[in-house]
Chain A
């Protein structure tokens, strides 16, 4: 158990809908990262938040957004969903020191029908 929690574990929805994925980092970690894992793309970095502020962005679609709240939990919002958004979504957290080991949560499996 990494100490990172994610809810829900599974999500099934229809095209055009909007969903919210939630992540709670390990105790003491200030950084939260979101990654997408699909069969053809592997693990891809989406976005990083550090202590409530956006720190870095990867190839995140404009339909996707995220935020980190004062209690440090984070939410990833996916809107206008398409079939191709079906994937595993992982959250990771770290202290963000000189070298940054990221610990991953169990993931949310999203299926868009």
Chain B
């Protein structure tokens, strides 16, 4: 069964203080690794899809990277509006369902 572990559970940052979130995974044949952002009471908002080790993707202050065992989401010079829960999910080669980690809740203080 696919497994995803995210760390840390929570992260409190000062505005401008860069940091990284970790997502470790085990999956039978990785079809894709996904990052989502979720605000309280809202649906997950798609950020990135990574397909293979060594791949990197960027969007504004966010950068996602992928190795064979884990993915990192780097937040550079965060702003208060980056406060959210960031979810990592994997999709294996056997089906199309997403297996999610528990998420990392990021709080950015001004």
- Tell whether A and B belong to one assembly: yes
Residues of A within 8 A of B (CB): 2, 4, 31, 33, 35, 42-45, 48, 55-56, 58, 88, 90, 92, 94, 96, 98-107, 109
Beyond A42-B101, A56-B96, A96-B96, is A103–B41 a contact (Cβ under 8 Å)? no
Which residue of chain B lies nearest to A58 when distances are taken between CB atoms in the complex? B97
Question: Can you give 15 A-B contacts (C-beta < 8 A)?
Answer: A2-B46, A42-B101, A43-B87, A45-B99, A55-B95, A56-B97, A99-B51, A100-B91, A100-B96, A102-B46, A102-B98, A103-B46, A104-B36, A107-B43, A109-B41
A34 CA / B32 CA spacing, docked (Å): 19
- Considering only CB atoms and an 8 Å cut-off, how many residues of chain B contact the other chain? 24
* B102 interface residue (CB < 8 Å to A): yes
Binding site for A on B (CB under 8 A): 31-32, 34, 36, 41-46, 49, 51, 87, 89, 91, 95-103
A2 in complex: contacting residue of B45, B87, B95, B96, CB < 8 Å: B45
In the complex the two chains form, what is the Cα distance from A45 to B44 in whole Å?
14
Cβ distance B6 to chain A, nearest Cβ, rounded Å: 10
Which of chain B's residues have a CB closer than 8 A to the CB of A101? Answer: 32, 34, 46, 49
Q: Report the separation of the CA atoms of residues A15 and B45 in the bound assembly, to the nearest whole angstrom.
A: 32
Pair A107/B42 contact, Cβ less than 8 Å: yes
Q: Which residues of A contact B98 (CB under 8 A)?
A: 33, 35, 43, 45, 92, 102
8 cross-chain pairs, A with B, having the tightest CB-CB distances, nearest first: A104-B43, A43-B100, A45-B97, A99-B32, A104-B44, A100-B96, A56-B95, A106-B43
Residues of chain A with a CB closer than 8 A to B101's CB:
42
* A35 to B100 alpha-carbon distance, docked (Å): 10
